[in-house]
Amino acid sequence: GGSIAIRGRLLSFDADPRDEELGRAVRYVEDGLVVVEKGLIREVGEASALLKRLRPDMTVVDHRPHLVLPGFIDPHLHMPQTQVIASYGAELMEWLAKYTFPEESRYGDPAVAASASRFLLDELLASGTTTAGVFCTSHPESVEAFFAEAAQRNMRMVAGKVMMDRNGPPALLDTPETGYQQSRDLIRRWHGKGRLSYAITPRFAPTSSEMQLEAAEALASEFPDMHIQTHLSENEAEIAFVREAFPWSKDYTEVYERYGLVREKAMFGHCIHLSVRERAALSAGGATAVFCPTSNLFLGSGLFDREAIREGDIKVGLATDIGGGTSYSMLRTAAEAYKVLALRSQKLPALEAFHMMTAGNAEAMGLDNRIGRIIAGHEADLVVLDSSATPAMRRRMERVETLEEELFALMTLGDERATVATYVFGHRAYERGTPRRPLPAR
């Protein structure tokens, strides 16, 4: 299984190009072939050359004229928020209390968690996303259900049990001890199993006591290579809350530093209102700032400053943050990122956006040795995209002349409708259905 050859317009990016050199880091093959054996990319190149010496039993799937890219990577989203998405009229702290915490309280029920995980993973695959950094709830059952569903699909997933022991409803709160022990048990059961890995997941400083942050620190030092995921500096009221709850700390970031949580493979959602000192701390620690544009707009949180983050030499990811975020599609997410940055008079060229969604997010998650590029030895997670998926896209494409123009229109106008197929470890995990019937004329 997992042996297949995929033909199409291949687009991939070299690792870590300086932005001004991104043009030269683009690997584009107009008529290319990806040869996959046992789930791994074996060879990549011109179809004309590779087809001649292909093993005769190899199935060739011809996706021309569509684009073939590395599967999209979404470094920050919440599994239990598929029914929180599009909740009306609140900023972060009220949104959590009014909508999110009550909804997450249901996730101690394994059936609730299993059906949400199933829905989420199907929706991600339909959007071309093959890897994500996932917050479950504080109930170990929610993590158990999520990993079980991800394992069935053989997807590379990073997920964890939310640790939160204060400032939430009783049904959601753990304790320093149970937070530690349940995380520990889940790590033993799931970390490194197949393509799954565990992330130490304190929700954010306002919902953890100092004792619980010490427990997170203990986990982090027992597992120095493990992912850490949390939220940082998303909203002004949240920042004020942290200032009161941790009076000894000069800023929000220092709370996480104090407990050894600012390090490589630590992913901090949002990072909107950081000071120069906080950016320097994230950079020194080798941590990642994750830009969540649809969420930041929807919750009115603020405008991510990509230029400051880059000038501060901080790794950056781009994510949906479902369900503060409003779309499962990384294309839609990139389009909103462009608009957020436009309000800051910053630019997001299409090549940089597609780099972020693939190789960039792989680096941001510390997974760039396995996913994010179409190169020999990498895992064969691929998305096939149709840049003329809708009438509006098709019409725009008539006047597009360059690959960059095509990609910019694809991200600006596209969404899950552009996904033709999604491959996970060489297996087709999603295939676009028969086209929707045109709406009747009115």
Give the binding site for Fe ion (CB under 5 A): 269, 321
Tell me how many degrees the CA angle 406-31-422 measures, rounded to the nearest 5.
70
Residues contacting 296, CB < 8 A, separation 6+: 234, 270, 272, 302, 303, 304, 340
Q: Give the nearer residue to ligand GUN in terms of CB position, either 159 or 424.
A: 159
Residue 204 interaction partner, one of Fe ion, ligand GUN, none, beta carbon < 5-8 Å per kind: ligand GUN
Query: Could you tell me the CA-to-CA distances from 7 to 45, 59, 426, 434 in Å, in that order?
Result: 10, 11, 13, 21
Residue 234 interaction partner, one of Fe ion, ligand GUN, none, beta carbon < 5-8 Å per kind: ligand GUN
Q: Sign of dihedral through CA atoms 336, 394, 433, 39? A: negative
Residue 230 interaction partner, one of Fe ion, ligand GUN, none, beta carbon < 5-8 Å per kind: none
CB 214 within 8 A of CB 168: no
Min CB(303)–Fe ion separation in Å:
17
> 3, 12, 82, 100: which one contacts ligand GUN (CB under 6 A)?
100
Cα separation, 181 vs 276, in Å, equals 36
Min CB(258)–Fe ion separation in Å:
22
SS3 252: helix
Tokens (6 digits) for 309: 């983050």
Q: Give the nearer residue to ligand GUN in terms of CB position, either 78 or 373.
A: 78
Min CB(275)–ligand GUN separation in Å:
19
Interacting residues with ligand GUN between 252 and 311 (CB under 6 A): 295
Min CB(140)–ligand GUN separation in Å:
18
Min CB(78)–ligand GUN separation in Å:
5
CB 304 within 8 A of CB 317: no
Min CB(414)–ligand GUN separation in Å:
24
Query: Could you tell me the CA-to-CA distances from 406 to 64, 83, 398, 411, 423 in Å, in that order?
Result: 15, 34, 10, 9, 23
Nearest residue to ligand GUN on Cβ basis: 324
Q: Give the nearer residue to Fe ion in terms of CB position, either 321 or 363.
A: 321
CB 140 within 8 A of CB 179: no
> 99, 180, 204, 354: which one contacts ligand GUN (CB under 6 A)?
204
Min CB(416)–ligand GUN separation in Å:
21
Say if residue 323 is preceded by a cis peptide, omega within 30 of 0.
yes
Say if residue 80 is preceded by a cis peptide, omega within 30 of 0.
no
> 144, 251, 321, 386: which one contacts ligand GUN (CB under 6 A)?
321
Min CB(349)–Fe ion separation in Å:
26
Q: Give the nearer residue to ligand GUN in terms of CB position, either 361 or 388.
A: 361
Min CB(179)–ligand GUN separation in Å:
15
Count the residues of the shown chain that bind ligand GUN, applying the rule CB under 6 A. 11
What single letter denotes the amino acid at residue 336? E
78 binds ligand GUN per the rule CB under 6 A: yes
Tell me how many degrees the CA angle 140-174-321 measures, rounded to the nearest 5.
65
Tell me how many degrees the CA angle 370-31-391 measures, rounded to the nearest 5.
95
203 binds ligand GUN per the rule CB under 6 A: yes
Min CB(407)–Fe ion separation in Å:
27
Q: Give the nearer residue to ligand GUN in terms of CB position, either 34 or 96.
A: 96
CB 325 within 8 A of CB 298: yes
195 binds ligand GUN per the rule CB under 6 A: no
Region binding ligand GUN by CB under 6 A among candidate stretches 16-24, 92-100, 118-126, 342-350:
92-100
Q: Give the nearer residue to Fe ion in terms of CB position, either 121 or 271.
A: 271
Cα separation, 1 vs 426, in Å, equals 8
Min CB(159)–ligand GUN separation in Å:
14
**Which residue stretches of 70-227 are H helix?**
92-95, 101-104, 110-126, 140-153, 176-190, 210-222
Binding mask 213-252 for ligand GUN (x = CB under 6 A): ------------------x--x------------------
The DSSP H or E segment spanning 267 is: strand 266-270
Interacting residues with ligand GUN between 324 and 363 (CB under 6 A): 324
Q: Give the nearer residue to ligand GUN in terms of CB position, either 12 or 100.
A: 100
- Could you tell me the maximum CA-CA distance found in the chain, to the nearest angstrom? 68
Interacting residues with ligand GUN between 378 and 417 (CB under 6 A): none
Q: Give the nearer residue to ligand GUN in terms of CB position, either 11 or 158.
A: 158
CA 234 from centre of chain = 17
By the criterion CB under 6 A, which residues form the site for ligand GUN? 78, 92, 96, 100, 203-204, 231, 234, 295, 321, 324
